[in-house]
Amino acid sequence: MYKGLVVDANLLKSDPHFSLGCKFCHKGDDKATNKEAAHKGLVKKPSSDLKVCAMCHKAIVDTYAKSLHYTTAGLKKGISPRLGEGEKKIFEDRVFEKSCRTCHASCGACHVKAQPVGGISIGLIKNHKFVRRNESKTCAFCHGGRVYTEYTGEYGEAPDIHYQKGMMCMDCHKKTELHGDGTFYQSMREVKDRPNCTKCHKLGNEPKLTTRTAHQTHQGKVSCYGCHVASAYRNCQQCHLEKGSKSYPEIYLGKSPRNGKMFTTLRLVPTARDTFKDVGIKMENYDKLPNYWDSPVHNIRKKTDRTQSCDACHVERKDFLTAEKLIKEGSQENKNLIFRLRDISR
């Protein structure tokens, strides 16, 4: 049953958010004696206006207003280089504000009622209780298409080793990362204090000499994911097209489009050439960006094919991105991500 209207009566006494009554956030008429009159002027999602939460949580709201979770600026930053100058204004008005911005997370989307995704909502997280964290509902609902399901093993062959050890999202992604730090970032890549494997796994402290040597040899050349990705992860095609997107499991290893010297995991996140044709956008600079992007996949294991044998990469080239694997009619930049490794067997 949809529980969007259920409020636990005990919360009225125990949760300070209810001390001023429902009207304080939701408006409406709390003196009315029938539903229609009581709901006149009702605000369904009060936290969509950050000023409501700022009345009590101003310091947090001031930073959150500039965070990527709220601004969704990363979506605009990602697509912008593909657009011609005249197309950027069209995208801003007809796509970004009317579509992309609807995915932004208000305070309530994480702490009271999860944000609807694709028109589907799980309703209140816990009978209108204001929860500090509940990764399995809030993080998972928005990031469950790829990250969360890979992390828990619901998609792929095995769960991430960190999940098996009992770790959840906020063990690595801290509150300041989610709420923002008061800086307006255009991309998560600009955030300096993002999770990093070596913060916990210090290089040079490995107990085995072979492991220590392997890390030293590949440092700055191969990402941690490049060796430690456990199994195939989700890749998508035909995104945003009327005929419907498709996904399939695959591992792609190749050059990072952001750092051509780094060998890493790539994820197919294609924006098709005609994605925005209905609003008059041809994407004049479509071929300036690839369709494959370096991705910090969330299904890490200590032992994988690549950590067990040098031949997996240096002879077999297992899971390497190749010309034969590239999507049809994709960007010309995709070819530059193919990594040609010297065969050590010769």
The pLDDT of residue 239 = 65
- Of 177, 194, 211, the one marking the end of a domain is 194
Higher pLDDT, 7 or 57: 57
Whether 139 shows a pLDDT value over 70: the answer reads yes
Both ends of the chain: CA-CA distance in Å?
64
- Of 175, 194, 213, the one marking the end of a domain is 194
The pLDDT of residue 271 = 83
24, two tokens: 């304080």
Question: Residue 155: exposed, middle, or buried by beta-carbon count in 10 A (0-12, 13-18, 19+)?
Answer: buried
**What are the Cα distances from residue 1, in Å, to 44, 117, 120, 121, 123?**
19, 18, 14, 12, 10
297, two tokens: 């996949």
C-alpha 111/C-alpha 69 separation (Å) is 14
C-alpha 215/C-alpha 324 separation (Å) is 31
**What are the Cα distances from residue 332, in Å, to 77, 228, 287?**
20, 29, 5
Whether 43 shows a pLDDT value over 50: the answer reads yes
Shared-domain flag, residues 223 and 309: yes
The pLDDT of residue 137 = 83
Look at residue 10 and tell me if it is in a domain: no
- Of 194, 219, 248, the one marking the end of a domain is 194
Tell me the residue range of the domain where 337 lies.
196-346
Nearest by Cα to 300 from 325, 265, 267, 268: 265
Look at residue 28 and tell me if it is in a domain: no
Question: Residue 325: exposed, middle, or buried by beta-carbon count in 10 A (0-12, 13-18, 19+)?
Answer: middle
Shared-domain flag, residues 130 and 271: no
Look at residue 14 and tell me if it is in a domain: no
Shared-domain flag, residues 259 and 187: no
Which segment of 93-97, 243-247, 274-278 scores lowest on mean pLDDT?
243-247
Look at residue 48 and tell me if it is in a domain: no
The H-or-E segment that residue 252 falls in is: strand 252-255
Domain count, the chain: 2
Sheet (strand 263-268) strand order? 252-255, 263-268, 292-294
Shared-domain flag, residues 69 and 106: yes
Shared-domain flag, residues 174 and 111: yes
pTM (two decimals): 0.88
C-alpha 48/C-alpha 109 separation (Å) is 9
Number of other residues whose CB lies within 10 A of the CB of residue 150: 28
Helical H segments across 115-250, by residue range: 138-143, 147-152, 161-164, 175-179, 197-200, 209-218, 224-228
Shared-domain flag, residues 333 and 201: yes
C-alpha 216/C-alpha 300 separation (Å) is 20
Look at residue 311 and tell me if it is in a domain: yes
